Amino acid sequence: MYDVFQTDRLIDLWLTEDIGYCDLTAQLMIEAHETGAFFMNARETLIVAGIDVAARIFKRYDPTLEVSVRVKDGDKVERGTVLLDVSGTARSVLTAERTALNIVQRLSGIANLTEQYAAAVAGTRARLIDTRKTTPGLRMLEKHAVTCGGGLNHRLGLDNGVMIKDNHIAVCGGIAKAVQRARRQLPVLTKLEVECDRLEQVKEALAAGVDVIMLDNMSIEEMARAVDLVSGRVLLEASGGISLATIGAVAKTGVDYISTSKINQAAACVDIGLDEAE
């Protein structure tokens, strides 16, 4: 889920950053009339994310290039799978190559790690969600990659929901007062969530009538007690200190959502290459 218009603006920035005034190597070594055919291939098993963006990079740089996408975002492919074909002016393909590879490697890496986290909570009621801790400028694309890997998106931005955190509570003088202030002008279809790091705060948030309670950096025992306390009256999100080693135990407490920044911040780029067709 990303906007093509916004993506094209990003692509222009990426190409400008990488190319500068010109691709000096391509200009010196490749004649303007020379053509070539190339294919982008997976060099390891991976979840595809961003392949249409990669294709768009080639076309954005040179609309005369022929690009054929062979897979879909969200597909799990094996090593050696061809992801797309690109042919036309050789200078253009090689100039745009690195930018196209960079974005699909990054996004597929996020999708790959997300799949591992989602698998760790399979069979429980918990759903994996992301956070706003994304690479500046790449949020919508990285959140798209999360969905390709089987995760869900939390807030897309600050205007996408109300999240009352500890500093908001401190300024307002307590959870009840903070919720009351927020409710005065809250759009009717907008969710209101409160961050709680103690069971006493969970009770306060519940009494204040919030939609979602975040259990922030609580122990497994505290989370389980919070689930019993709430008893399904509001949704519960567990957050803080979530890793592949801990997420399974957190899911078994009975929370509805588990959020982690790891699926974005700890994701390693996958190995994808561009090779000349024989």
By annotation, the residues acting in catalysis are 98, 133, 165, 195, 216
Pairing relationship of beta strands 272-276 and 76-77 according to DSSP bridges: unpaired
Buried/exposed code over 22-57 (b: 16+ C-beta within 10 A; e: otherwise): ebeebeeebeeeeebebbbbbeeebbbbbbbbbbbb
> How many CB atoms lie under 10 A from the CB of residue 72?
11
Q: Are 277 and 82 in contact (CB under 8 A)?
A: no
> How many CB atoms lie under 10 A from the CB of residue 16?
11
Q: Are 52 and 69 in contact (CB under 8 A)?
A: yes
Q: Are 197 and 217 in contact (CB under 8 A)?
A: yes
SS3 content of the chain, % helix, strand, coil (to 5): 45, 20, 35
Cα dihedral value 48, 52, 57, 63, nearest 10: 150
> How many CB atoms lie under 10 A from the CB of residue 114?
27
Q: Which value, in Å, is the radius of gyration of the alpha carbons in the chain?
A: 23
